[in-house]
Amino acid sequence: MSFLTDVEEAITVLKNGGTILYPTDTVWGIGCDATNEAAVDKVFRIKKRTQEKSMIILLANEADILHYTNDHNPIIFDYIKNVFKPTTVIYEGARNLATNGIGKDGTVGIRIVKDPFCKALIEVFGKPLLSTSSNISGYPPPALFEDIDAEIKSGVDYIVQHRQEDLTPAEPSTVIKLNHDGSIQILRP
């Protein structure tokens, strides 16, 4: 299957409120339309995760952050440009997203993707993806596609073909938060 066909198949599922298993710039993720509450519920059920634990939102471009959060501090943009490891930023004032994908305190974790497949998927879809690692809650995230639990694979509506054979071990992103005083707090290195 070609790269573009895989993107198109995944988008068809996303537009119909479905869930996908797909490669990101970190670990393989379970994803859905981040603006669709029913789809977000499906991801929580697949992952067997309580809704008290929020998930992250993936975007293709920095400018899109302005549409999904009221927190527009330029310090974060400068910080992200100077890091090489994928970094998720916790923003306050989440908006235009499914309410069950936003933290109880109104925050949302957002990562700008660099992976070509993931970036193309989000750009063509035209909406952010809610994303979480492809493991059952409480278990470590798998480093390779072949390590993903069969229950996760059978629980999603579509499994992306791209990069399934990749044997480069992956790890989760760094997670940071910009404090009110302008300092950056590292929540997960």
Q: Which two tokens stand for residue 161?
A: 């073909």
List residues bridging with 58 in a β-sheet: 111, 129
Give the pLDDT of residue 134.
94
For all residues of the chain together, what is the average pLDDT?
91
* Percent of the chain with pLDDT strictly greater than 90: 61
Which H/E stretch holds residue 30? Answer: strand 29-33
Among 31-40, 137-146, 163-172, top mean pLDDT goes to 31-40
Type of residue at 56: I
Give the pLDDT of residue 102.
93
Residues 83-114 as b or e (16 or more Cβ within 10 Å = b): eeebbbbbbbebeebbebbbbeeebbbbbbbe
Residue 32 structural domain: 3-188
Q: Which two tokens stand for residue 50?
A: 């309580």
CA separation for the pair 101, 44 (Å, rounded): 10
Q: Which region, left, alpha or beta, applies to residue 41 given φ > 0 means left and ψ of -120 to 50 means alpha?
A: alpha
**pLDDT exceeds cutoff 90 at 148:** yes
Structural domain total, the chain: 1
Helix crossing, 3-15 with 116-125: angle to 10°? 40
pLDDT, tens only, 38-88: 999 999 999 998 777 778 999 999 889 999 998 777 788 778 778 888 999
pLDDT, tens only, 108-147: 999 999 899 999 999 999 999 999 999 998 898 888 999 9
CA separation for the pair 26, 142 (Å, rounded): 11
Lowest mean pLDDT among 13-17, 65-69, 160-164, 175-179: 175-179
List residues bridging with 132 in a β-sheet: 30
Give the pLDDT of residue 19.
98
Question: Which domain CATH number covers 167?
Answer: 3.90.870.10
Q: Which two tokens stand for residue 89?
A: 């930023």
